[in-house]
């Protein structure tokens, strides 16, 4: 290779690089989030953050807790698989504080049409109507009880 004095500058260069590497390693150990790698190659604390979002929909179990009568009515009709908040909107705030937070009743004219207006792409067996032809513009709940909208053979709700 040569005498030491001829490679001294290369040693200095290597020294600079080594210093840089050490600085990087120290910086890295200080800055990496503590929870990183706890459950996998990601920041473990993210799981806590993501599972702690506030709820907007309470879920039908919460509704049925306080409104078993409506739940029973619904359970016997054709809307039995329809969850409460599907029509009534997100009600977690109401479920948490029923006395003070009152839900707004949905506008029937808009609501029923969303599912039941006829459309070629809907499954054939699904009840669909042309609203004007069907009821001449009357609100759907004039004849149908929303929680159990079907009629028996005698035309009774």
Partner 1 sequence: MEGFMYPNEVELQWGILIVLYPFLTGLVAGAFILASLERVFRVEEVKPTYRLSLLTALAFLIVAPLPLQLHLGHPERSLEMYLTPHRSSAMAMFGFVYLWYLMAVLVVEIWLDYRRDIVRLAESSRGVKGLLYRALTLGSYNISPAALRIDDRVGWIITLIGIPSAFLLHGYVGFIFGSVKANPWWSTPLMPVVFLFSAMVSGIALVLLMYMVTSAMRRVAVDMRCLDTIAKYLFYTFVIDFALEMLDLIHRIYESDESFRSLDFMVHTRLFYSQILIQIFLGTLAPLALLSLTQMITFPAAARRRIYAIASVLTLVGIFAMRWNVVIGGQLFSKSFLGYTTYKVGFVTREGLLPAVALMILPFAILYVLIKILPPWQEESPFVAEAHGDD
Partner 2 sequence: MILNRRQILLLLPAAAVAWDSVLADNPEGSPNYKMSEHWWGMLIDITKCIGCGSCVRACEMENDVPEGYFRTWVERYHVSDWHIENPEVDSPNGGMDGFPPGKAEGGKNFFVPKMCNHCVDSPCSQVCPVGATFHTPDGVVLVDYDYCLGCRYCIQACPYGCRFFHPKKHTADKCTLCYHRITKGLTTACCEACPTGARQLADLKNPNDPIHAFLKTHSVQVLKPHLATGSKLFYNSLDGSVR
Residues that bind partner 2 (CB under 8 A): 33, 36, 39-43, 46-57, 59-61, 79, 81-83, 85-86, 89-90, 114-115, 117-123, 126
| DSSP category for residue 98 | T
Contact present, 119 and 128 (Cβ < 8 Å): yes
Establish if 12 lies at the interface with partner 1 (CB under 8 A).
yes
- Nearer of residues 1 and 50 to partner 1, judged by Cβ: 1
- The site that binds partner 1 (CB under 8 A) totals a number of residues, namely 20
The widest CA-to-CA distance across the chain, in whole angstroms, is 111
3-state secondary structure 13-64: HHHHHHHHHHHHHHHHHHHCCCCECCCCCCECHHHHHHHCCCCCCCCHHHHH
x/- mask, partner 1, residues 41-60, rule CB under 8 A, reads x-------------------
Reported residue count of the chain is 157
Residue 95's nearest CA partner among 57, 69, 51 is: 57
Q: 34 is in the binding site of which of partner 1, partner 2, none (Cβ under 5 to 8 A by kind)?
A: none
Among 18, 19, 22, 32, binds partner 1 (CB under 8 A): 32
- Nearer of residues 30 and 124 to partner 1, judged by Cβ: 30
Establish if 23 lies at the interface with partner 1 (CB under 8 A).
no
């Amino acid at each position: 290779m040569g005498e030491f004095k001829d490679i001294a500058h290369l040693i200095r260069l290597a020294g600079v690089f080594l210093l840089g590497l050490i600085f990087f390693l120290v910086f890295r150990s200080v800055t990496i989030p503590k929870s990183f790698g706890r459950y996998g190659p990601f920041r473990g604390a993210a799981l806590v953050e993501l599972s702690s979002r506030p709820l907007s929909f309470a879920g039908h179990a919460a509704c049925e807790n306080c409104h078993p009568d409506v739940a029973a009515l619904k359970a016997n009709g054709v809307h039995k698989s329809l969850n409460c908040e599907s029509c009534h909107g997100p009600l977690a705030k109401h479920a948490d504080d029923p006395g003070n937070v009152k839900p707004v009743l949905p506008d029937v004219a808009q609501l029923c049409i969303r599912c039941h207006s006829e459309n070629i792409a809907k499954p054939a067996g699904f009840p669909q109507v042309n609203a004007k032809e069907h009821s001449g513009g009357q609100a759907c709940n004039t004849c149908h009880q929303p929680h159990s909208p079907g009629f028996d053979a005698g035309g009774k709700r």
